[in-house]
Amino acid sequence: MTGSTKILLCVTGGIAVYKAIALVSKLTQAGADVRVIMSQSAMEFVQPLSFQAMSRNDVYFDTFDEKDSRVIAHIDLADWADLVVVAPATANVIGKYANGIADDMITTTLLATTKEVWMAPAMNVHMYSHPAVLQNIDTLHKRGIRFIEPSEGYLACGYVGKGRLEEPEKITELIMNRKQKSMPLKGKSVVVTAGPTRERIDPVRYVSNFSTGKMGFAMARAAADLGAEVTLIAGPVTLETPAGVTRVDVESAADMLREVETRFASTDILIKTAAVADYKPKLQADQKIKKQDGDTVLEMERTTDILAHMGSIKSNQVVIGFAAETNDVEAYAEKKRVKKNADYIIANDVMQQGVGFGTDTNKVTVFSKSGKSDFPFLPKQQLALELLQFVAEQEGWHS
């Protein structure tokens, strides 16, 4: 298989192991050269012979079972691979890898490899959302490990939720397209704003909104993946900074405006996903305002519209805005694009299930001078990548 993509598949224990057999089959059919390491737990579900038959290669599972005396197996495999894929990736192997533990053949190989590593988690929905698991995933993200997000659906344990191993066909597509990955934003400077702003009333109270910053962080990560130098200006959110992205934290609309203005002259693309407060308290008390009998009135004043302001002073920058609407999405989005001199407005109906603030998915329509383009219901990270690839195509940018 000279010239084939060399995939080292690490299979860890879980009912999703049966999908890993299909994954080997799909990868082999796509022309990849696949070698498999299994954990002891994985062998409780499936015998190594199944993977051997599909891959037409020996299957490894014991660090001390050296099949070729001329080499040390786990080092040789770590060096051999073009790409290391862990699928299914259990909470156990994610935790071990994040903390540098090497107590079996898979974990010793993971620590020995200098090649790109992808992990495809599969586990119970509550395990996947456990703070320890999320922290370990974040640790690995920061080290440049790519995760293939699990899908939502009925799980073997009886729960319904996020935790299913992504389908073998999708994983195969991602792997085989890896070498063809275009970098249309290479050399571009991108500024992304994300999250809410907080407008202080007094030292203990503020006006804000429900934005979590997930879409903005996804756009920042996608821009970096496509080759851009990315600055992420984030309001108060608890998300981890994407790998390869420079983050600047702000609180108020005025803070965010200042940071955008400082960088705008050297920016090629401004992506304004932040849900900036439209109004702020006219007066901000230095001390806590005490509760009084009866009603009270909070006088508000307009904040600077960052999108409109940057649209009015742009020269050759591409300005992209987001519009979260609850009705008449098309009319409001197109009006916003024209009024604010934006090149693109990405609009969604936040009243739809699974769309908008706090969700991991989104469904949008892009409005530009050339018309509108609908994007299907997708995970936010995948959608972000497709949106930026669309913009790059519209602008004539190529890798």
Q: Among 258, 250, 273, 252, which residue's Cα sits nearest to residue 190? A: 273
- Which position among 157, 254, 285, 355 bears the catalytic label? 157
Give the residue-averaged pLDDT of 153-179.
70
262-265: Cβ within 8 A, 24+ apart: 263/189, 263/191, 263/231, 264/191, 264/310, 264/313, 264/314, 264/317
Structure tokens of 304?
């600077």
DSSP string, 98-146: HTT---SHHHHHHHH--SEEEEEE---HHHHT-HHHHHHHHHHHHTT-E
**Domain check: are 199 and 169 in the same one?**
no
Structure tokens of 11?
């299979």
Do the beta carbons of residue 105 and residue 61 sit within 8 Å? yes
**Domain check: are 256 and 154 in the same one?**
no
Question: Does 230 or 141 have the greater pLDDT score?
Answer: 230
CATH code of residue 134: 3.40.50.1950
Check residue 142 and give its pLDDT: 79
**Domain check: are 356 and 216 in the same one?**
yes
Give the residue-averaged pLDDT of 2-21.
86
**Domain check: are 142 and 284 in the same one?**
no
Query: pLDDT above 70 covers what percent of the chain?
Result: 93
pLDDT in tens, 76-87: 899 999 999 999
Flag whether pLDDT at 155 surpasses 50. no
Region at 110 (left for phi over 0; alpha for psi -120 to 50; beta for the rest): alpha
Q: Among 21, 25, 1, which residue's Cα sits nearest to residue 11? A: 21
Q: Is 352 exposed, middle or buried (CB count within 10 Å of its CB: 0-12, 13-18, 19+)?
A: middle
Check residue 94 and give its pLDDT: 95
Largest CA distance in the chain: 85
The whole-angstrom separation of Cα 350 and Cα 359 is 10
What is the total count of domains within the chain?
A: 2
Flag whether pLDDT at 345 surpasses 90. yes
Give the residue-averaged pLDDT of 56-74.
82
Question: Does 202 or 134 have the greater pLDDT score?
Answer: 202
The angle at the Cα of 395, spanning 364 to 232, to the nearest 5 degrees, equals: 60
| Contacting residues for 248 by C-beta, under 8 A, at least 6 apart | 231, 232, 233, 234, 259
Residue 341 domain-assigned?
A: yes
User: Is 157 annotated as catalytic?
Assistant: yes
Query: pLDDT above 90 covers what percent of the chain?
Result: 64
Check residue 151 and give its pLDDT: 64
Residue 274 domain-assigned?
A: yes
Residue 346 domain-assigned?
A: yes
What residue numbers bound the domain in which 371 lies? Answer: 189-395
Using pLDDT thresholds of 50, 70 and 90, give the confidence band for residue 180.
Answer: low
Do the beta carbons of residue 208 and residue 199 sit within 8 Å? yes
- The residue out of 147, 180, 213 marking a domain boundary is 180
Check residue 366 and give its pLDDT: 96
Structure tokens of 178?
């890896």
Flag whether pLDDT at 26 surpasses 70. yes
Residue 1 domain-assigned?
A: no
**Domain check: are 133 and 206 in the same one?**
no
**Domain check: are 91 and 227 in the same one?**
no
Residue 53 domain-assigned?
A: yes
Flag whether pLDDT at 1 surpasses 50. no
Question: Does 144 or 355 have the greater pLDDT score?
Answer: 144
Do the beta carbons of residue 198 and residue 234 sit within 8 Å? no
H-helix segments, the chain:
17-29, 48-55, 73-80, 91-98, 105-112, 125-128, 131-142, 168-176, 214-225, 253-264, 306-313, 329-339, 380-395
The whole-angstrom separation of Cα 17 and Cα 3 is 28
CATH code of residue 284: 3.40.50.10300
Question: Does 157 or 385 have the greater pLDDT score?
Answer: 385
Check residue 3 and give its pLDDT: 52
Q: How many CA atoms lie within 13 A of 230 on its CB side?
A: 28
Give the residue-averaged pLDDT of 241-268.
95
Flag whether pLDDT at 244 surpasses 80. yes
**Domain check: are 99 and 196 in the same one?**
no
Do the beta carbons of residue 109 and residue 97 sit within 8 Å? no
Residue 79 domain-assigned?
A: yes
Do the beta carbons of residue 319 and residue 272 sit within 8 Å? yes
**Strands 205-207, 151-154: parallel, antiparallel or unpaired by DSSP?**
unpaired
Range among 65-69, 88-92, 137-141, 151-155 with highest mean pLDDT value? 88-92
Check residue 361 and give its pLDDT: 79
In angstroms, the Cα distances linking 216 to 101, 170, 390 are: 34, 24, 17
- The residue out of 161, 180, 199 marking a domain boundary is 180
The whole-angstrom separation of Cα 266 and Cα 262 is 9
Flag whether pLDDT at 359 surpasses 70. yes
**Domain check: are 277 and 160 in the same one?**
no
CB atoms within 10 A of CB 320: 24
The whole-angstrom separation of Cα 13 and Cα 90 is 7
Flag whether pLDDT at 304 surpasses 90. yes
Check residue 126 and give its pLDDT: 81
Q: Among 137, 96, 103, 107, which residue's Cα sits nearest to residue 120? A: 137
**Domain check: are 280 and 333 in the same one?**
yes
Map tokens 């390869």 to a residue: 244
Structure tokens of 152?
């939502």
Sign of CA dihedral 122, 124, 126, 132: negative
The whole-angstrom separation of Cα 6 and Cα 268 is 37
Do the beta carbons of residue 365 and residue 330 sit within 8 Å? yes
pLDDT in tens, 275-299: 999 999 999 999 999 988 889 899 9
